[in-house]
Amino acid sequence: MALTQDEQKAVDAAPNQLLIGGEWRDATGGGRLPIEDPSTGEAFCEVADATPDDAKAAIDAACDAQADWATTPPNERSEILYKAFKAIGENVDDLALLMTLEMGKSVAESKAELTYAAEFFRWFSGEALRIDGYFKNAGNGASRVLVMRQPVGPCYFITPWNFPNAMGTRKIGPALAAGCTMVVKPAQQTPLSMLALAKLLSDCGLPGGVLNVVTSKKSADVSEPIIGDPRLRKLSFTGSTEVGRKLIAQAADNVLKVSMELGGNAPFLVFEDADVDDAIEGAMIAKMRNVGEACTSANRFHVHESLAEEFAEKLAKKMGAMKVGRGTEEGTEVGPLIDADQRDKVAELVDDAVSKGATCVTGGDKRNGEGYFFEPTVLSGVTDDARVLDEEIFGPVAPIATFSSDEEAIAAANNTEYGLVSYVYTSDLKRALRVCEALETGMIGLNQGMVSNAGAPFGGVKQSGTGREGGNEGIHEYLETKYIAVNL
Ligand code: NAD
């Protein structure tokens, strides 16, 4: 299917080369990486396919720029970030269209992501001005303690396809604010959004070499020389736990500082005193935002047995009424999944749950025809042995299981190696706090279906990762603490 004129215009305006040392250039050897529209399965453009030599050039450029960027006045670093925050808003239509073409979700959802992504630049433009240290008397009174914070140095960022811009700005924002330079490698499915963001930052005055972008289908090959470079000081990754584990092992060789934002298996708990309509509203956001392709997606619903039937019916009514279609079509609420593998995995999880006794209340099928669409699906009576309760679904499927006591709900919620986020619906304050204390996740949505917020520390525990992005904590991932013992 040919792109419309507006779509073609947005694609033509986006860079399609590597950004290294402030120059846009082709990959050595001229390799190209085709980009597919998930709503048709057809490639609609190509970008440079970087080689390990390009990766070496990118880390060289980041290292060369480090000393100057670290000493650039905080006011200047802050102003570039604030300009970029404004520029995303001014260019949101073109950026959203580009994102929808390569990632699939509706244009409205792409705009929402861009608003969220831009907020990290606004937040960290402020944080750039608040990097502090302290001075105090030592206990014995004879010397003084002087503590200063300094940028960690050159960083390497690897980002996923599900939020092609926001997963980048959460790292780029604090790194720029702290005075670090970087190489960014976006996911091979969605490089255009990151290239467009890099151009926007250059247009806002970011000096060449501070941010370098390599796009490649050979992720491991281009990452190796960067992670193995002794000048690199920090690796920040957002993606699956499986890949995160491998990267932590690679980072050990040079004892890199690491931040890992990994997979999730979020439980959504509805207690017997919850307002069911509020819980449904929250469930729709927690489940259907980003077509269910979010690490924070509610992966499983544990509902008190007294409410389970009503909850399943109401959720099925709302999810079943959602408009499925190409993300660029007016009124689309549910776009395609990213690729055929992801769609087939979702179908497999649904089939497995049904074969073990679950009932499909709505949906249940992939769509025939072009593109990687899957119907919004609600499964009730899901049994404990169903894979869908254990594995990250990453699709528009809501499995519902029941519980009869708080202890049972908490045990079910914590019965996973993941620990990113959970959702709790109850109108009893004491129960809310008791349950929140017992849940083994880095974040909790309390009577709220979304936790993402640039001003809050986002991150997981257990195998969902380590480190926090956003909030007061975010910039510390990019700062080293230096202590000077002062002899008076
Ligand atoms: P993925 O792990 O397959 O890929 C993520 C990135 O890593 C991509 O850029 C990919 O090219 C790269 N990569 C893959 N193998 C690599 C290797 N051996 N060496 C270096 N780079 C490699 O994940 P995905 O499918 O792109 O994204 C979905 C996953 O991301 C889900 O598990 C989701 O939960 C997770 N995620 C987590 C968060 C969070 O903040 N915790 C946010 C968004 C997504």
Closest ligand 1 atom to Cα of 246 = 18
Distance of CA 11 from the midpoint of ligand 1 (Å): 24
**pLDDT tens string for the chain (488 positions)?**
789 999 999 999 999 999 999 999 999 999 999 999 999 999 999 999 999 999 999 999 999 999 999 999 999 999 999 999 999 999 999 999 999 999 999 999 999 999 999 999 999 999 999 999 999 999 999 999 999 999 999 999 999 999 999 999 999 999 999 999 999 999 999 999 999 999 999 999 999 999 999 999 999 999 999 999 999 999 999 999 999 999 999 999 999 999 999 999 999 999 999 999 999 999 999 999 999 999 999 999 999 999 999 999 999 999 999 999 999 999 999 999 999 999 999 999 999 999 999 999 999 998 888 999 999 999 999 999 999 999 999 999 999 999 999 999 999 999 999 999 999 999 999 999 999 999 999 999 999 999 999 999 999 999 999 999 999 999 999 999 999 999 98
Q: How is residue 24 written in tokens? A: 């846009």
Which mutation among 240, 339, 451 tests ligand 1's pocket best, with the greatest number of atoms within 8 A of CB? 240
CB 393 within 8 A of CB 292: yes
Is residue 261 annotated as a catalytic residue, yes or no? yes
* 299 Cβ inside 6 Å of ligand 1: no
The one catalytic residue among 261, 333, 375, 477: 261
Q: Are 279 and 433 in contact (CB under 8 A)?
A: no
219 lines ligand 1 (CB under 6 A): yes
- For the four alpha carbons of 41, 392, 460 and 106, in that order, the dihedral sign comes to positive
> Ligand 1, from 219, 245, 246: best to mutate by most atoms within 8 Å of Cβ?
219
CB of 264 closer than 6 A to ligand 1? yes
145 Cα–ligand 1 center, Å: 41
**CA quadruple 51, 53, 59, 60: dihedral sign:** negative
Nearest to 270 by CA among 388, 425, 118: 425
Tell which one of 295, 391, 463 to mutate to probe ligand 1, the residue whose CB is within 8 A of the most ligand atoms. Answer: 295
Between the CA of 2 and the centroid of ligand 1 the distance, in Å, is 30
Kindly give the distance from the C-alpha atom of residue 186 to the centroid of ligand 1, in angstroms, as a whole number.
Answer: 9
Q: How far is the CA of 462 from the centre of ligand 1 (A)?
A: 17
Question: How far away, in angstroms, is 259 Cα from ligand 1 center?
Answer: 13
Residue 9 CB-half CA count within 13 A: 6
Report which protein residue has its CA nearest ligand 1's atom 35: 239
Report how far ligand 1's centroid is from the alpha carbon of 86 (Å). Answer: 28
Residues 6+ apart with CB under 8 A from 360: 350, 354, 377, 378, 379
What's the CA gap between 167 and 190, in Å, rounded? 12
Cβ of 392 below 6 Å from ligand 1: yes
- What is each CA distance from 394 to 41, 116, 273, 344, in whole angstroms? 19, 20, 29, 11
- What are the φ and ψ backbone dihedral angles of 33, each rounded to 5 degrees? -115, 115
DSSP 8-state class, residue 334: B
**What is this structure's pTM?**
0.98
Q: How many CB atoms lie within 10 A of CB 397?
A: 27
What pLDDT shows up at residue 57?
99
Q: Which residue has the tokens 């247009």?
A: 203
Q: Which of 63, 180, 295, 360 is catalytic?
A: 295
- Which is it for the CA torsion 345, 347, 351, 353, positive or negative? positive
CA of 262 to the centre of ligand 1 (A): 7
Q: What single DSSP character describes residue 323? A: P
Q: Where are the alpha helices (DSSP H) in 181-240?
A: 191-203, 219-227
Look at residue 86 in the predicted model and tell me its pLDDT. Answer: 98
Please spell the DSSP secondary structure of 37-73, one letter per residue: ETTTTEEEEEEE---HHHHHHHHHHHHHHHHHHHTS-
With a 6 Å cutoff on the Cβ, whether 223 touches ligand 1 is yes
Q: Is the CB of 236 under 6 A from ligand 1?
A: no
CA distance 454 to 470: 5
CB of 262 closer than 6 angstroms to any ligand 1 atom: yes
Question: Going along 327-376, which residue ranges are E strands?
Answer: 359-362
- CA 187 to ligand 1: nearest atom: 9
Question: Considering Cα of 106, then 260, then 173, then 64, what sign does the dihedral take?
Answer: negative
User: Is 254 a pocket residue for ligand 1 (Cβ < 6 Å)?
Assistant: no
